[in-house]
Copies of this chain bind each other. A is one copy, B any other.
Amino acid sequence: MEVCKCSQLSAEEIDKIRYEMPAQLEIDGLAEFFKVFGDPGRLKIIYYLSKTELCVADLARLVQMAQPAVSQQLKILRLTRFVNFRKEGKTVYYSLHDEHVSELYQIALHHIREL
């Protein structure tokens, strides 16, 4: 692989940086992670769950989405371990898995607000 003439870096430096690169699998994992936050509907769900535990029906009313749509998104949030759920009779209550979510929320808000 040839080095372009504009490069400030030597082939050795290039190799070193590339060697320290997180594994492709981990990169893909990160991308999947962020992709989950890249949808307004899911973000709203996450926001409401950060306030209180909620059943699917209430969640659907709050985010103003159809119940099946909410269930689909909750499934994604379950698979990515962002939410826990607890069954009580017919109803299922969802809650946030941990506090990382709120952290991310705050940092991202900070970024977009400072232009």
Contact = CB atoms under 8 A, between A and B. Distances in A.
Interface of A: 1, 3-4, 6-9, 14, 17-18, 20-22, 24, 26-40, 43-44, 47-48, 51-55, 57-58, 61-62, 81, 90-91, 98, 100, 103-105, 107-112, 115
A6 B61 CA distance: 12
Nearest to A40: B31
- Interface SS of chain A: helix
Contact of A111 (B31, B62, B100): B100
Given A40-B27, A40-B28, A90-B6, A17 B48 contact: yes
Contacts of A107: 100, 103-104, 107
Give the residue among A32, A43, A51, A100 with the most B Cβ atoms within 10 A.
A43
B43 A108 contact: no
A21 B7 contact: no
12 contacts: A4-B58, A6-B91, A7-B58, A8-B54, A17-B48, A22-B109, A24-B40, A27-B40, A34-B37, A34-B108, A35-B35, A104-B104
